[in-house]
Chain A
């Protein structure tokens, strides 16, 4: 299993400006051989879903540290489904409490990562799901 050649969109939905985690993961994924697209800050779920479809990505990583993950993730998943792109795996990174991790998984998220997880563990989990 490897991340080589996987197409991954790292996105910042909503107004949250904390982009360190998103950039660290983008850099690490690229070094692991993935094709990484990073959106930059302040993108709407519509924009993210459209890029995901246009770029035919395997996975979208949504980075949210403002506490608005439930709303923004649900909206992105809904839009991807409407665009018949439900095969795209959704991951979430950020400040997410234990209860919300379960909620997000029920909503269809394939994995949730917080800042205290090791990068190598995050990459391994991504590779398992996408491999």
Chain B
């Protein structure tokens, strides 16, 4: 037994200590009713702090969508069919870096990376293989694709056309968020202006042709993983969202129409209540911006809908089974924060492509949270908690501060072109790293409770089939040998002419190219010849 006097002094030191969340928000020892002004909001009503649906997850369970894809389209197709048999409700396609950066597998820049971090999809034939035996009108498919998003989306539409599926039956999402690529993820291709045009083209085309498809998913996830805190993740992302809305308005879009199809995407890291508050605050901030700044009147155009990843850089290569617990906690934060779609990382994802076993466990984690824990039965069950409502208000203020800082700098495009946001993130990443190095921020297994063992016991090792690259190159050659080359050149030229002119929507031309088996690399090459490439501002301070 601890003597009472000692217990009292320990507790007193802990009581006086000032604690802050990773975003710097002061954490009260005890939250009290007077911390908050205003009345409790209602779920399903603007500004949607308590959720966009009045019936929460009772009306619709979140989509369980595991990011997956590697090697050839054949292997990825097999993994998708496996995951769907296990109860997964949506597909999420990981593409290899050459496809993401606009290089065909034959390009010298691609040679080391074909089929490595995702599936290689250079032309329509690969899409036909990828979705073989998968009914595109019955599954929603998400593509993590940005620099070549318009092309990949067009390929999906063309694949549906070929399979005889009406375009208006297609559901899914393309990430199509180039602004954060310049800042964090790095798969940019063209300069900012033509990239924004391509995004507006695809959103406006999709609104008309595939009205149930989300043509953009504005993502904070990668900015977060690159180093910034929760408030900055949300602030930068909403600032990007505002830039896209402004672009779409310039192009004559109807805010009440296109805003219904904007969606968002984030990481959930380990600070449980901060993460929950981040999502509650973001719904409020976005609804207010759409209403007050852009005059949206349709309640659906005010709704902040989002998907999340649980895991990412919060996972560790040391003691990898600990990641199962981290992902479980983050999964619960995502649900209490009101996510529409959730991807739970596999515990081995910090260092390899997940094995079938680890991928299954990641999906089971969600199913246990959904069907056993009971946290999805009542809408926004933390609403009205003195602490959570206080943290939500504080988070809202922090997010607005980040957005104001970008505004003050001169807007998102300028801040990106001059490398301002990139530099801030690099500095933040270093701070975060230093806090882990010096133990201020505890990461179990890394800077506390470490074990000096080489065999960490994570079981199965995923091995990419080394022959995948050769098979991909063979298939590519086959398409080149069998397509109508004269027609392909003609389609490509028409795309180029449209790109050189202002104002024409390029998507119909791109879809035509896809049908003619023009490749991703050819289309990107043609567009580059008119638009040039983004010049990365290399700036450390």
B317 nearest CB across to chain A (Å): 6
Q: Among A17, A28, A30, A114, point to the contact of B187 (Cβ < 8 A).
A: A17
A27 near B: Cβ within 8 Å?
Answer: yes
Q: Among A16, A66, A97, point to the contact of B352 (Cβ < 8 A).
A: A97
How many angstroms from the CA of A120 to the CA of B272 in the assembled complex? 30
Closest Cβ neighbor of B428 among chain A residues: A20
Interface string of A1-28 (1 = CB under 8 A from B): 0000000000000111111100110111
Residues of B312-331 contacting chain A, CB below 8 A: 316-318
For A44, what are the chain B residues with a Cβ–Cβ distance below 8 Å? 108-109
Is the CB–CB distance between B117 and A66 below 8 Å? yes
Is the CB–CB distance between A68 and B113 below 8 Å? yes
Is the CB–CB distance between A14 and B112 below 8 Å? yes
A93 nearest CB across to chain B (Å): 12
Is the CB–CB distance between B437 and A27 below 8 Å? no
Is the CB–CB distance between A40 and B540 below 8 Å? no
Closest Cβ neighbor of A99 among chain B residues: B461
How many angstroms from the CA of A98 to the CA of B317 in the assembled complex? 11
How many angstroms from the CA of A57 to the CA of B268 in the assembled complex? 41
Is the CB–CB distance between A26 and B117 below 8 Å? no
Number of interface residues of B (CB under 8 A): 42
Is the CB–CB distance between A42 and B430 below 8 Å? no
B538 near A: Cβ within 8 Å?
Answer: yes
A95 near B: Cβ within 8 Å?
Answer: yes
Interface segment out of the listed B98-106, B337-345, B488-496: B98-106
Is the CB–CB distance between A41 and B536 below 8 Å? yes
For A28, what are the chain B residues with a Cβ–Cβ distance below 8 Å? 430
If A14-B97, A116-B316, A116-B318 touch, whether A20 touches B110 (CB-CB below 8 Å) is: no
Residues of B185-228 contacting chain A, CB below 8 A: 185-187, 225-227
Interface string of B253-284 (1 = CB under 8 A from A): 00000000000000000000000000000000
If A15-B103, A20-B426, A116-B318 touch, whether A41 touches B186 (CB-CB below 8 Å) is: yes
How many angstroms from the CA of A23 to the CA of B97 in the assembled complex? 21
Is the CB–CB distance between B540 and A38 below 8 Å? yes
A70 nearest CB across to chain B (Å): 8
Is the CB–CB distance between B109 and A40 below 8 Å? no
For B32, what are the chain A residues with a Cβ–Cβ distance below 8 Å? none
Is the CB–CB distance between B116 and A68 below 8 Å? yes
A82 near B: Cβ within 8 Å?
Answer: no
Closest Cβ neighbor of B100 among chain A residues: A15
A79 near B: Cβ within 8 Å?
Answer: no
How many angstroms from the CA of A14 to the CA of B350 in the assembled complex? 20
Is the CB–CB distance between A15 and B110 below 8 Å? yes
Number of interface residues of A (CB under 8 A): 35
B388 near A: Cβ within 8 Å?
Answer: no
B417 near A: Cβ within 8 Å?
Answer: no
For B139, what are the chain A residues with a Cβ–Cβ distance below 8 Å? none
How many angstroms from the CA of A67 to the CA of B115 in the assembled complex? 11
How many angstroms from the CA of A98 to the CA of B100 in the assembled complex? 28
B530 near A: Cβ within 8 Å?
Answer: no
Indicate the member of A15, A71, A116 with the most B CB atoms within 10 Å. A15
B429 near A: Cβ within 8 Å?
Answer: yes
Is the CB–CB distance between B97 and A15 below 8 Å? yes
For A71, what are the chain B residues with a Cβ–Cβ distance below 8 Å? 111-112
Is the CB–CB distance between B116 and A66 below 8 Å? yes
B354 nearest CB across to chain A (Å): 13
How many angstroms from the CA of A86 to the CA of B350 in the assembled complex? 33
If A24-B430, A97-B351, A97-B352 touch, whether A68 touches B112 (CB-CB below 8 Å) is: yes
How many angstroms from the CA of A27 to the CA of B419 in the assembled complex? 15
Is the CB–CB distance between B111 and A27 below 8 Å? no
B72 nearest CB across to chain A (Å): 16
Is the CB–CB distance between A118 and B437 below 8 Å? yes
Closest Cβ neighbor of B445 among chain A residues: A116
B357 nearest CB across to chain A (Å): 18
Is the CB–CB distance between A42 and B186 below 8 Å? yes
B434 near A: Cβ within 8 Å?
Answer: yes
For A118, what are the chain B residues with a Cβ–Cβ distance below 8 Å? 437
If A16-B97, A24-B429 touch, whether A95 touches B351 (CB-CB below 8 Å) is: yes
10 contacts between A and B (CB under 8 A): A15-B113, A19-B186, A20-B225, A20-B227, A20-B425, A26-B540, A41-B186, A41-B536, A116-B318, A116-B446
Instruction: Add 19 more A-B contacts to A23-B426, A26-B540, A27-B430 (CB < 8 A).
Output: A15-B109, A15-B187, A17-B186, A18-B185, A19-B226, A20-B226, A23-B429, A24-B426, A27-B541, A30-B540, A36-B540, A42-B186, A44-B108, A67-B116, A68-B112, A71-B111, A72-B112, A116-B318, A116-B446
